[in-house]
Amino acid sequence: MSKRSRYSANEKYNIIQEYNSGALSTSDISHRYGVVDATLRHWIYLYKKYGVLGLKESKIWKNYSEELKTNAVLEYGLNLIK
Please give the Cα distance from 15 to 9 (Å, whole number): 10
* 2: in domain: no
- Per-residue confidence (pLDDT) for residue 4, from 0 to 100: 63
- What share of the chain has pLDDT > 70, as a percent? 89
- Per-residue confidence (pLDDT) for residue 1, from 0 to 100: 42
Structurally, the chain folds into a number of domains equal to 1
- Per-residue confidence (pLDDT) for residue 3, from 0 to 100: 58
Residue type, 51: G
How many other CB atoms are there within 10 angstroms of residue 47's CB atom?
21
* 55: in domain: yes
- The length of the chain, given as a count of residues: 82
Please give the Cα distance from 26 to 19 (Å, whole number): 7
Domain harbouring 60, CATH code: 1.10.10
* 62: in domain: yes
* 46: in domain: yes
Please give the Cα distance from 79 to 42 (Å, whole number): 24
Which residues, at least 6 apart from 61, have a Cβ–Cβ distance to it below 8 Å?
1
* 34: in domain: yes
Q: Which residues span the domain enclosing 59?
A: 9-81
* 24: in domain: yes
* 75: in domain: yes
CA-atom Rg of the chain in angstroms = 16
- Per-residue confidence (pLDDT) for residue 33, from 0 to 100: 95
Q: What is the pTM of this model?
A: 0.65
Intervals of the chain under pLDDT 50: 1
